[in-house]
Amino acid sequence: MTKEVKFQLSELLGIGMTLVVLGIGIAYGLQVMADVQSDMTVQSNEYNATADAITGVAKIPAKLPTIATVVVAAVILGILVTYLWARFR
């Protein structure tokens, strides 16, 4: 027995909103981390730890365009495979 699966583009709204919220959360998180670091004495272990944490977290937004591209490509490939599978089956 075959099961037909329907896909609507409106379902992509959740993915898009997730990426937007992730970007905003990371931006505010970096700002908070920078504020915490400025309250610490320079060259202490805590200061160095927050500097490393800020450097690590700051790399995530640089990867967001790549993540979004992969998500869009996966959706497009999924639509094409579903369409072609139904057409040539």
> Which three-class secondary structure state does DSSP give residue 74?
helix
Q: Which tens digits make up the pLDDT trace of 60-77?
A: 888 888 988 988 888 888
Q: What is the pLDDT of residues 6-60, one digit of tens each?
A: 666 677 777 788 888 888 898 898 899 889 888 888 888 888 988 999 999 888 8
Nearest CA to 22 out of 50, 61, 71, 57 is that of 61
- Helix/strand number for the chain, H first, E second: 2, 0
The number of beta carbons lying within 10 Å of the beta carbon of residue 15 is 14
| Cα radius of gyration (the chain) | 21
